[in-house]
Each structure stands twice: as C-alpha cells, then as structure tokens.
C-alpha cells in the first residue's frame, strides 16, 4: 500500500559519537548505527552552521580554524523522518600563528615610540599575546609582552636608530615569524636633558 511508509518508525539516535582524530584544521568523527537500521538512508552531519549528508558512519570535517571549539551534530535520516541529533564538542589543535602585518611606528618622541600592527592573517585564532623586542646598535635587546595590537616603548635614547621586532605567541609559547621595522627617536631639544633609566 502507498501509505505503508507512513507507519515506519522514526530512526533512533546514533550511538557513541566520538572524535577519532583532531588536528589544527580537521575533526574526524565516527558513530555507531542507530536502531531501525533498515530504514536509514544516511546521516546528516552539521557544524558551524554547515551541514552535509553522508552514508558512512564516519566523516572528516576539514577547513576548520585552529584553536577553536566546534560543536558537531549527527542525526540519522530515513525517507520520511530523521532522528534527534547527538552532539559532541571538540577544540582543534594549537598551531603557530602567522606573522603580524602592517607593523608601524607613530608619534615618535625623543624617548618613546608608539607601535601598531594588525593580527596575523593565518592562524590568528591561536594568538594569545604578542612579543615586542627592540634594540639599538650598542645595547642588549629588550622585550615585552602585550595582549594588545599596540605598544609604547619608553625610556629610549634621543636621536637613536632602533630596530623593532614583533611576533605573535600562542598558548604554548610558540612564536610566529617576526615582523620588523627600524625607527629613529627624535632629537632632544637643545639644553634639555632626560633620564633614560628604567623606573623601579
């Protein structure tokens, strides 16, 4: 009879949804068959507002962002209905951030340099903080850590060329390739003196 399909039970939930492998850009998930297996035509896998239909009981989700938590839902699909979904959460692995971009120095004085930059284009989701280092031709390198995409270097010498480098750090301390610029501090006005010692 043509109405026989309406009497078939809806599929049950999939079982034991697990993650078999996690990388910085992918999640490999699998699950066990649902009840009423004979009625199943496939499975719907959804994540990050995207869905796909598969026939197998596993799926490799790719092109993800590193250091990012994703919720994944899986539901069994029959001809006329689908099961309730089962979900799992996973965070993709840590990756080394790309280099910062558009590093610039602005509003330079005889003692200070204001730095600005833009977060990396690649693996920016893994950036925890930034490392800023500077030195002139005669002193040891000095470094500082900041959470921001700007930093003001203070207690510099007047009329001096400084080499400045900035890199992005992830949560495990891995540093990106460094972006660098050279900048000159202003000349000290005639007759004026400054204290360049680092405050306690």
Question: pLDDT per residue over 38-59, tens digit each?
Answer: 678 899 999 999 999 999 999 9
Confidence of residue 1 (pLDDT cuts 50, 70, 90): very low
Residue 84 belongs to domain spanning: 4-91
Instruction: Indicate if the pLDDT at residue 170 is higher than 70.
Output: yes
User: What gap in Å lies between CA 103 and CA 186, rounded to an integer?
Assistant: 19
C-alpha dist (Å) from residue 43 to 19, 26, 49, 177, 199: 16, 19, 16, 42, 64
My answer on whether 84 and 152 are in the same domain is no
pTM, to two decimals: 0.81
Q: Give the end of a domain, one of 25, 56, 91.
A: 91
My answer on whether 80 and 12 are in the same domain is yes
User: What gap in Å lies between CA 18 and CA 11, rounded to an integer?
Assistant: 20
Q: Is residue 197 part of a domain?
A: no
My answer on whether 150 and 121 are in the same domain is yes
Question: pLDDT per residue over 54-75, tens digit each?
Answer: 999 999 999 999 999 999 999 9
Q: Is residue 196 part of a domain?
A: no
Q: Is residue 59 part of a domain?
A: yes
């Amino acid at each position: 009879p043509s109405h026989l399909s309406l009497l078939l039970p809806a599929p049950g939930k999939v079982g034991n949804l697990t993650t078999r492998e996690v990388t910085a850009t992918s999640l490999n998930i699998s699950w066990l068959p649902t009840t009423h297996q004979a009625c199943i035509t496939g499975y719907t896998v959804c994540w990050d507002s995207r869905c796909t239909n598969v026939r197998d009981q596993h799926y490799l989700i790719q092109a993800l962002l590193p250091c990012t938590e994703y919720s994944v839902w899986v539901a069994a699909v029959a001809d006329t209905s689908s099961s309730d979904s089962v979900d799992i959460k996973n965070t993709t692995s840590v990756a080394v951030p790309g280099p910062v971009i558009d590093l610039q120095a602005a509003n330079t004085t005889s003692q200070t340099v204001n730095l600005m930059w833009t977060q990396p284009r690649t693996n920016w989701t893994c950036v925890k903080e930034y490392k800023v280092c500077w030195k002139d031709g005669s002193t040891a390198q000095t470094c500082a850590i900041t959470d921001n995409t700007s930093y003001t270097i203070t207690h510099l010498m007047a009329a001096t060329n400084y080499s400045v480098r900035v890199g992005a750090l992830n949560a495990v301390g891995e540093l990106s390739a460094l972006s660098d610029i050279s900048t000159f501090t202003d000349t000290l006005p005639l007759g004026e003196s400054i204290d360049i010692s680092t405050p306690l």
